[in-house]
Every structure is written in structure tokens, then in C-alpha cells.
């Protein structure tokens, strides 16, 4: 099974409220529940992570976790 992994340490964490308009930036994203994650990277790219493993951390800097396309639950942004 492939797994997203990060050995980075973070100072802050907060639950994510997905939005197609409001920014909710982070340095990484913890995925607590099954589904897809659509986000906008710091570089401005819109990407969808399809079915990341539950309990994984996606180590990518982002400005927004989009409501459209995100079906995963229990998301926590780390920074």
C-alpha cells in the first residue's frame, strides 16, 4: 500500500472547513476519514488527491482545501 508521509514538525493545527472561496492555508494536511482531497497549492495549481490513506499526512503547502471535489472527512491543516 502506498502512503503519504511527512517527517516535518508543525507548530499549529486546526480542523479544516472546506471552501471554494475562503483561504485556509497550511504546510501539510492530515486526512482522518476516507475520500478525495481537492486543494490549491501555494503555487496556484488545483490538484485532487484520490483516496489518500486514512491517517496519512499529505506534505504539500496549500492555500485552500476546496469544498468542490473534497469528499474526505476529519481533515486537519498543519502549519
Spatial separation of the C-alpha atoms in residues 71 and 50, rounded to whole Å:
10
User: CB of 25 within 8 A of CB of 77?
Assistant: yes
Residues in the chain: 79
- Please state the domain count of the chain: 1
pLDDT in tens, 47-76: 999 999 999 999 999 999 999 999 999 999
Q: What is the pLDDT of residue 1?
A: 44
Question: Looking at the domain assignment, is residue 54 inside a domain?
Answer: yes
35: containing domain: 15-78
Distance between alpha carbon 49 and the CA centroid of its chain, in Å? 9
pLDDT for residue 23 is more than 90: yes
Q: Could you write out the DSSP letters of every residue in 54-74?
A: TTEEE---EEEE-STT----S
Task: Provide mean pLDDT across the span 24-29.
Answer: 97
Question: Looking at the domain assignment, is residue 4 inside a domain?
Answer: no
pLDDT for residue 4 is more than 80: no
- β-strands 28-31, 37-41: how paired? unpaired
Question: Looking at the domain assignment, is residue 7 inside a domain?
Answer: no
Question: Looking at the domain assignment, is residue 20 inside a domain?
Answer: yes
Amino acid at each position: 500500500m502506498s502512503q503519504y508521509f511527512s517527517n516535518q514538525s508543525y507548530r499549529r493545527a486546526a480542523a479544516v472547513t472546506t471552501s471554494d472561496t475562503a483561504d485556509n492555508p497550511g504546510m501539510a494536511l492530515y486526512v482522518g476519514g476516507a475520500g478525495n482531497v481537492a486543494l490549491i497549492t501555494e503555487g496556484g495549481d488545483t490538484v485532487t488527491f484520490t483516496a489518500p490513506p486514512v491517517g496519512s499526512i499529505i506534505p504539500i503547502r496549500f492555500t485552500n482545501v476546496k469544498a468542490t471535489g473534497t469528499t474526505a472527512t476529519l481533515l486537519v491543516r498543519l502549519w
